């Protein structure tokens, strides 16, 4: 990996993954510019970095152009939890598409390398299992998840076309469900919901019969892979990044109940529209090209996440958006 000090822009840098990425890059000595509009995050996520001379926080919306000189760009700005991205779906499409256009324009002008945080959602409700990068997906273009799925798919298209047409140096990773400390406790994602509900001994909201599956990656493993992808020569992607250990959502509920020693009871709620039935990354390419393999098991990562949830004042976080009502 490069030891040179670089000027690095992280869009969405105050978010769950972005704040950890900024932290790592600051620790490596890089000059880090964190750009965020704080739609789904709060300044407290990066408060501890504000007094570092190599960290700068910029309030800005990626749908609007911005000019700065940088060597690398990590494009993470986009609401990621279903409740968040469905809150204002039109804005979600604009964030993905105009945001990608703006960072690609900047990368073209500066000669910067630019990485897109894409998603397993580009596979939709997959008919191929596990999902390799060569699978084109099964996405509903007009449903309630489409603003996110199709927005991210167009962003991938823009990245590939800027690479082909303008020779921009791009990277695309497809991130599968990632969890860990600093997730917004009210983001509505399954890990944060289950932990919060268990710690408060409130009912656990299991959507559908709980037999749908996800494969959960701990955030430290994920951030490690993002940085490797950015700094590996000759690998454009898309590359899947995730933990291939697959669990039913019912199993996740049972593990969370056990680790929190909670008295919560499971209540069944309707499955949201277009909820993918199965999801598991094929990470052959990440292993081969990045020499990367996730090392944190689900119980191990959940223990750390639960410890963080216990350490915060959950009631001081406002539920920012309606959550599947
Ligand atoms: P997050 O919501 O915590 O972070 C997203 C950040 O982007 C927030 O700080 C938010 O305020 C900011 N943002 C949103 N719209 C913006 C805009 N228009 N202008 C500027 N900033 C804006 O979510 P996260 O889990 O940290 O996700 C980060 C990225 O990774 C997203 O692009 C997401 O699609 C992708 N991703 C995450 C996961 C996951 O499981 N965590 C899975 C797949 C893909
Ligand atoms: N889910 C659930 N209860 C909740 C929140 C989510 O059963 O309180 C389910 C949801 O229906 C989905 C899975 O958990 O099948 C993962 O949901 P999440 O919103 O975390 O992520 P995504 O669907 O985007 O993978």
Ligand index nearest the alpha carbon of residue 212? 2
**212 ligand 2 Cβ < 6 A:** yes
| 193 Cβ closer than 6 Å to some ligand 2 atom | yes
Strand segments, DSSP code E, in the chain are: 7-11, 31-36, 55-59, 72-75, 113-119, 169-175, 178-179, 204-207, 213-215, 217-218, 239-241, 246-248, 266-269
Question: In which domain, by residue range, is 169 found?
Answer: 7-316
CATH number at residue 226: 3.40.50.720
Q: Where are the alpha helices (DSSP H) in 144-248?
A: 146-166, 190-199, 219-231
Looking at the domain assignment, is residue 323 inside a domain?
no
Q: How far apart are CA 227 and CA 14, in angstroms?
A: 17
- Going from the Cα of 255 to the center of ligand 2, the distance in angstroms, rounded, reads 15
Distance 224 CA to ligand 1 centre (A): 17
- Which residues surround ligand 1 with Cβ inside 6 Å? 11-12, 14-18, 36-41, 61-63, 76-80, 84, 95, 117, 119, 175, 177-178
Number of domains in the chain: 1
Does residue 2 form part of some domain?
no
Looking at ligand 2, which atom is closest to the CA of residue 207? 7
Burial class of residue 315 (count of CB atoms within 10 Å of its CB; 0-12, 13-18, 19+): exposed
* Sequential pLDDT tens for the chain (325 residues): 446 999 999 999 999 999 999 999 999 999 999 999 999 998 999 999 999 999 999 999 999 999 999 999 999 999 999 888 998 999 999 999 999 999 999 999 999 999 999 999 999 999 999 999 999 999 999 999 999 999 999 999 999 999 999 999 999 999 999 999 999 999 999 999 999 999 999 999 999 999 999 999 999 999 999 999 999 999 999 999 999 999 999 999 999 999 999 999 999 999 999 999 999 999 999 999 999 999 999 999 999 999 999 999 888 887 654 533 3
Task: Name the token pair of 6.
Answer: 């670089």
Q: Is 135 among the residues known to form the active site?
A: no
Decide if 250 is inside a domain: yes
Query: Which one of 74, 85, 87, 148 is the catalytic residue?
Result: 148
């Amino acid at each position: 990996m490069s030891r040179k000090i670089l000027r690095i822009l992280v869009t969405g840098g105050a978010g769950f993954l972005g704040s950890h990425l900024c932290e790592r890059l600051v620790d490596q000595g890089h000059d880090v510019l964190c750009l965020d509009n704080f739609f789904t995050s709060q300044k407290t996520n990066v408060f501890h970095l504000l007094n570092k001379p190599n960290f700068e926080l910029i309030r800005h919306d990626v749908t609007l152009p911005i000019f700065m000189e940088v060597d690398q760009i990590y494009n993470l700005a986009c609401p990621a939890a279903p409740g968040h991205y469905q809150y204002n779906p039109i804005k979600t499409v604009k964030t993905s598409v105009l945001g990608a256009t703006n960072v690609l324009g900047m990368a073209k002008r500066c000669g910067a390398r630019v990485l897109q945080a894409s998603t397993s959602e580009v596979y939709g409700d997959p008919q191929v299992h596990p999902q390799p990068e060569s699978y084109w997906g099964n996405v509903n273009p007009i449903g309630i998840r489409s603003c996110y799925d199709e927005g991210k798919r167009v962003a991938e298209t823009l990245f590939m076309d800027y690479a082909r047409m303008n020779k921009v140096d791009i990277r695309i990773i497809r991130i599968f469900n990632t969890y860990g400390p600093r997730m917004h406790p009210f983001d509505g994602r399954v890990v944060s919901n289950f932990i919060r509900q268990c710690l408060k001994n409130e009912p656990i909201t299991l959507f559908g019969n709980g037999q749908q599956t996800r494969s959960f990656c701990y955030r430290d493993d994920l951030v490690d892979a993002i940085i490797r992808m950015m700094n590996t020569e000759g690998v454009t992607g898309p590359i899947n990044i995730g933990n291939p250990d697959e669990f039913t959502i019912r199993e996740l509920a049972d593990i969370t109940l056990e680790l929190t020693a909670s008295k919560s009871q499971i209540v069944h709620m309707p499955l949201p529209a277009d909820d993918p039935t199965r999801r598991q990354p094929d990470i052959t390419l990440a292993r081969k090209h990045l020499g990367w393999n996730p090392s944190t098991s689900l119980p191990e990562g959940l223990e750390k996440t639960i410890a963080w949830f216990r350490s915060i004042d959950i009631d001081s976080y406002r539920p920012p958006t309606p959550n599947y009502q």
